[in-house]
Structure 1
Amino acid sequence: MSQLMSSAGGKRWSGRAGALGPVTALEQYERDGAWVVAAHGSFDLDSVPPLADALGAAVKEHSKVVLDASGIAFADSSFLNLLILTHQAGTLRVAGPPEQLRRLFAITGTDRVLEIRGTVAEAAAS
């Protein structure tokens, strides 16, 4: 069975996404009974661990978790793997993914597995 490891504890993290990558940032807050993790920047093998920590802590502590993906500029298979593991560990909804993420979800078929919503409000309400 999949297991997410977490050490974030609801902390805000900001750092470099690789040596030349853009700054990534995470924000977390409650919205309509759901815990929202808002991710901004690019997520790859080097930059995904803080997001993994945040999502892992969130699914352990909250019955509904929403990833606000509207601020994600780039994501690779490491990010996709994280979403699948999080989905298996708890209730995850992905809100507002930009076109690049929508294409990634469609190409890999994960759009049929993940619960994808247009906005954080829609994801929190569903």
Structure 2
Amino acid sequence: MSTGLKVIVQEQDDRLVLLTVAGALDHDTSAVLLEQATAAMGTPHHLVLDMSGVTFCDSSGLNTLLRLNRHTRADHTALTLVAVPAQLRRLLRITGTDTVLTLRDNLAEARAVHDRT
């Protein structure tokens, strides 16, 4: 059973948007993340997902992250996941997805990469 998902969108500047994600990212909630992230992709060149509040992620959530990655690449937008919890990091490593998605330890690291582009 899903515990819900909360997504807070914060525009950092005209080129970077931060989405803070909290709760379970699963079959029941993954559409919420995809919808919010897709809506936030309008102008910025960098979309950052703060995953520190994610308590659970299943294959549906993983699929959503991969779909979002495809959408951002097609839109010429960079996608970075920051503060990825151990359970999700393990899932990404086991599936090899950690080589497809860009992961950073914190927002400062993501911003430093963003500022260089």
Q: TM-score range by the shorter chain?
A: 0.7 to 0.9
Counterpart check, 1:96 vs 2:83: yes
Residue 98 of structure 1: how far off its partner (Å): 0.5
Q: What letter is aligned with 1:72?
A: V
1:112 alignment partner in structure 2: 99
Task: Provide the TM-score with structure 1 as the length reference.
Answer: 0.78
Counterpart check, 1:71 vs 2:47: no
Cα distance in 2, alignment partners of residues 109 and 48 from structure 1: 20
Cα distance in 1, alignment partners of residues 62 and 42 from structure 2: 20
Higher helix share: 2
Q: State percent identity of aligned pairs.
A: 36
Task: Provide the TM-score with structure 2 as the length reference.
Answer: 0.83
CA contact (8 A) 1:31 1:124 kept: no
Name whichever of 46-55 and 21-30 sits farther off.
21-30
- Structure 2: state its 5+ residue gaps: 73-77
Residue 24 of structure 1: how far off its partner (Å): 2.4
Residue 121 of structure 1: how far off its partner (Å): 2.0
- Structure 1: state its 5+ residue gaps: 1-19
Name whichever of 82-91 and 103-112 sits farther off.
82-91
2:10 alignment partner in structure 1: 29
CA contact (8 A) 2:2 2:28 kept: no
Residue 62 of structure 1: how far off its partner (Å): 1.9
Residue 89 of structure 1: how far off its partner (Å): 1.6
Name whichever of 65-74 and 22-31 sits farther off.
22-31
Cα distance in 1, alignment partners of residues 87 and 32 from structure 2: 21
Cα-Cα RMSD: 1.5
Residue 56 of structure 1: how far off its partner (Å): 1.2
* Number of residues of Structure 1 aligned to a counterpart in Structure 2: 107
